[in-house]
Structure 1
Amino acid sequence: MRVTIRTKLTALFALLFVVLAGVLVTTAYLFVASATTPEAQRADRQQLLEEALAEQGITVPATPSPTPVPGGRPDDAVGQVLDSIALEARQRVLDDLLQRSLLAFALSALVAVALAWWLAGRVLRPVDEISHAASTLSERTLDRRLPEDGPDDEFGRLRRAFNGMLGRLEAAFDARQRFAADASHELRTPLAVLRASADNVLSSSRPSKQARELAEEVEQQVGRADSLMTSLLTLARADDVIHTREPVDLADIAAEVVSAASPRATAAGIAIDLDIADAPVLGDPVLLERMLANLVDNALRYNRDADPWVRCRVRTDAGRAFVEVSNAGPALAAADIPALFERFSRGDQRSEIAGHGLGLPIVARVARVHEGVVDAWPGDEGGLGVRVSLPARHDEQAA
């Protein structure tokens, strides 16, 4: 059972009340008991009698007090009866006082627990506000702040510290986004210059053999660097913020991706089987396009030489949109598949194939930021099957 701070404070306040109330009840009972003893009652009656006679002007000579014996005053039958009646009345009064005190103590304890629970809630309300604000924060809501118009106490300082932390986080995320945009611009420009220079050499009428080989190598490495940069920027975009939540159809994206990859598949002799149905979702079109492009590129890149094929299926079922891409490739063990979703890891069986190990990690990250799930399994005859499940878009969401 989870014991909260509010429960602990309630128990502490209630225990404090119970101890104080117990001391009060016990003290009152002892005072009443000591004030109603037979000796105290005889002294009170004697004092009242003397005061009454003094008011009448009668002076009573002082006489030594007789030695008391159990059961009343000696040689005084009336006094003994009065003492017996006084003792019985005293016991009844004490018993009634004890019962009423215990009943009042129990009722007061219940009220004290309720008041202690309410008081603990009032004391911890600022902490609940901060906890709720922290649990609802995301990369898109870092501009929110807690109100600081309360008293300058411990909770006020905690609010100011929390708001200061949010400000620093917001500045850090903004710096990351600006860095991604600046890096994209600064890195693409020299790559474009290198590619244009290599194309000029290759398109010249009579390039030397050495110049052609160097230009081809430069063009190949520029393409690899451009692919790596695109993958890194995609990861940075997914790690930072989903900038848009637009109604998109995974079937349309899959058709565009497969159409763009068809020339490459035809040149490699790979047959692509496309089976799509409407799969509407809400998401970032750029990230979703990169997710499907990486799935198809991964299936084309890691395929077998004899009778290669790639299968891409898109469908909707039970409120979920599914994208499944599988291929015929080298045999994989189920224990090796989780490592393929780690950044810059391509697995032992894929080390001989060119790649930078970011394809499937991008797929997993994009699916995660869209509240999706990725499943992967080895094919019966080799290859890999990957299925991405995303929440399907409803009509009211599109509206």
Structure 2
Amino acid sequence: MRVTIRIKLTALFALLFVVLAGVLVTTAYLFVASATTPEAQQADRQRLLEEALEEQGVTLPAAPTPMPSGRPDDAVGEVLDSIAAQVRQNVLDDLLQRSLLAFALSAVIAVALAWWLAGRVLRPVDEISEAANMLSERTLDRRLPEDGPDDEFGRLRRAFNGMLTRLETAFDARQRFAADASHELRTPLAVLRASADNVLSSPRPSKQARELAEQVEQQVGRADSLMTSLLTLARADDVIHTREPLDLADVAAEVVSAASPRATDAGVAIDLDIADAPVLGDPVLVERMLANLVDNALRYNVEADGWLRCRVWSEAGRAFVEVSNTGPALAAGDIPALFARFARGDQRSEVAGHGLGLPIVARVARVHEGVIDAWPGDEGGLSVRVSLPVREEALAS
């Protein structure tokens, strides 16, 4: 069981009550026990008798000489003392039983009251936690009410609202920067691409001009792909995701269909095996995740007569997509490094890429509460499997 602050406060309040109640019961018992000893009772009776006689003007004579032991009066006294001791013990036992019963009932009531009181005290913290858990890029404008008392929780609310204001400002600035950078960078890239296309489409371009134009076009495509990947990472890092119902099977079919001409040109056979896999996610991010898996499988599929296999299915409340390919042999210990940004393994120079494909897959899976696994193929290549939670209404049906 998870030990919460409420449980700790309840235990602290209950322990404090138990200690105080224990001291009270012990003190009362000892007080009654000391007040009912034969000596104390004899002294009290003697004092009360003297006070009563003094009020009547009678003075008691000196105490008589004790009678020798063994006489009848001595036996009667012993019986009376025994009866008095038994009565005293019965009174103390009854007092102890009643005190313990009252102590147990009070302890139960005290624990219940401590639990309720701890909940009341921690309610503002629960409200702040709930507000923090519901935060997203669309709810940064929400604020906690500040009309309560000016205490520690009131100051915490104001500090939390101030943090939300700063986050909203920073988030808006970052979004504006991403949009402005995308717009400003795409324009010169489009100009460079158009210039390269003009050179390549001219009737008689020189060999040097053609080579330069082809190189420019290649680098422009690389820069455009890199910018798209960085913006996708920024979208995922900022958790800018509009969750909508979608099916991984439909997304995989579209991605594979778009990649089929490229696979045909590369001589790579595609095997598509899909079944219903309904999930709740950001369509843009999920499509980019599958596109990166397929693109990565094609990019590093350098074997002759290679193949690419894409499977989609669902089971046990999870939706799965698995992409496997042929390619260079990989060591299992080298696979985690492939999910680091700008890492491309041992094929950095042989294969064009910017090392953001698999990191984007991992990041998108993470923001969708997914799990990603990867392992080397028996004959080379890589297999990557991503599992996401199945949509709740699909589970209900």
Question: TM-score range with shorter-chain normalisation?
Answer: 0.7 to 0.9
Q: 2:188 corresponds to which letter in structure 1?
A: P
Q: 2:13 corresponds to which letter in structure 1?
A: L
Q: 2:107 corresponds to which letter in structure 1?
A: V
Mapped to 1, the partners of 2:233 and 2:163 lie a distance apart of 25
> Hey, what does 2:292 align to over in structure 1?
294
SS of 1:278's partner is coil
* Cα displacement string for residues 113-149 of structure 1 (whole angstroms, at most 9, x for unaligned residues): 2343234334432435524742660542555554444
Contact 2:233/2:363, CA 8 A, preserved across alignment: yes
> Hey, what does 2:111 align to over in structure 1?
117
> Hey, what does 1:362 align to over in structure 2?
360
Mapped to 1, the partners of 2:145 and 2:172 lie a distance apart of 23
> Hey, what does 1:10 align to over in structure 2?
14
Kindly tell me: are residues 87 and 302 of structure 1, through their superposed partners in 2, closer, same or farther at Cα, counting changes over 3 Å?
Answer: same
> Hey, what does 1:130 align to over in structure 2?
125
- Count residues in correspondence: 388
Mapped to 1, the partners of 2:64 and 2:2 lie a distance apart of 67
1:103 maps to which of 90, 97, 102: 97
> Hey, what does 1:66 align to over in structure 2?
63
> Hey, what does 1:164 align to over in structure 2?
162
* Cα displacement string for residues 154-178 of structure 1 (whole angstroms, at most 9, x for unaligned residues): 3333333344334444444444433
Kindly tell me: are residues 305 and 349 of structure 1, through their superposed partners in 2, closer, same or farther at Cα, counting changes over 3 Å?
Answer: same
* Cα displacement string for residues 10-61 of structure 1 (whole angstroms, at most 9, x for unaligned residues): 213321332233223323433444884323323323433444xx2xxxx43x
Alignment of structure 1 residues 142-291 onto 2, 5 Å: 142-291=140-289
Kindly tell me: are residues 394 and 104 of structure 1, through their superposed partners in 2, closer, same or farther at Cα, counting changes over 3 Å?
Answer: closer
TM-score, normalised relative to structure 1:
0.83
Kindly tell me: are residues 114 and 163 of structure 1, through their superposed partners in 2, closer, same or farther at Cα, counting changes over 3 Å?
Answer: farther
TM-score, normalised relative to structure 2:
0.84
What is the deviation of 1:340? 1.2
The reply to whether residue 19 of structure 1 matches residue 20 of structure 2 is no
Contact 1:279/1:314, CA 8 A, preserved across alignment: yes
Unaligned runs of 5+ in 1: none
Kindly tell me: are residues 121 and 358 of structure 1, through their superposed partners in 2, closer, same or farther at Cα, counting changes over 3 Å?
Answer: same
* Cα displacement string for residues 79-135 of structure 1 (whole angstroms, at most 9, x for unaligned residues): x78865764454244323322332233123223423432343344324355247426
Unaligned runs of 5+ in 2: none
What is the deviation of 1:313? 2.2
Kindly tell me: are residues 173 and 24 of structure 1, through their superposed partners in 2, closer, same or farther at Cα, counting changes over 3 Å?
Answer: farther
Mapped to 2, the partners of 1:244 and 1:14 lie a distance apart of 53
Contact 1:242/1:369, CA 8 A, preserved across alignment: no
> Hey, what does 2:44 align to over in structure 1?
40
Contact 2:311/2:323, CA 8 A, preserved across alignment: yes
Q: 2:19 corresponds to which letter in structure 1?
A: L
Mapped to 2, the partners of 1:9 and 1:395 lie a distance apart of 44
Kindly tell me: are residues 144 and 103 of structure 1, through their superposed partners in 2, closer, same or farther at Cα, counting changes over 3 Å?
Answer: farther
Alignment of structure 1 residues 346-357 onto 2, 5 Å: 346-357=344-355
What is the deviation of 1:297? 0.6
Q: 1:99 corresponds to which letter in structure 2?
A: D
What is the deviation of 1:2? 6.8
Kindly tell me: are residues 48 and 84 of structure 1, through their superposed partners in 2, closer, same or farther at Cα, counting changes over 3 Å?
Answer: farther
SS of 1:37's partner is helix
Worse overlay, 192-201 or 125-134? 125-134
Kindly tell me: are residues 17 and 296 of structure 1, through their superposed partners in 2, closer, same or farther at Cα, counting changes over 3 Å?
Answer: same
Q: 2:62 corresponds to which letter in structure 1?
A: S
Kindly tell me: are residues 44 and 71 of structure 1, through their superposed partners in 2, closer, same or farther at Cα, counting changes over 3 Å?
Answer: farther
SS of 2:215's partner is helix
Mapped to 2, the partners of 1:315 and 1:276 lie a distance apart of 6
Mapped to 2, the partners of 1:331 and 1:273 lie a distance apart of 21
Q: Once superposed, what is the RMSD of the aligned Cα atoms?
A: 3.3
What is the deviation of 1:309? 1.8
Identity of matched residues, %: 64
SS of 1:206's partner is coil
Kindly tell me: are residues 2 and 202 of structure 1, through their superposed partners in 2, closer, same or farther at Cα, counting changes over 3 Å?
Answer: closer
Q: 1:161 corresponds to which letter in structure 2?
A: A
Worse overlay, 169-178 or 209-218? 169-178
> Hey, what does 1:340 align to over in structure 2?
338
* Cα displacement string for residues 182-207 of structure 1 (whole angstroms, at most 9, x for unaligned residues): 33223222222222232233333333
Worse overlay, 86-95 or 193-202? 86-95
Q: 2:41 corresponds to which letter in structure 1?
A: T
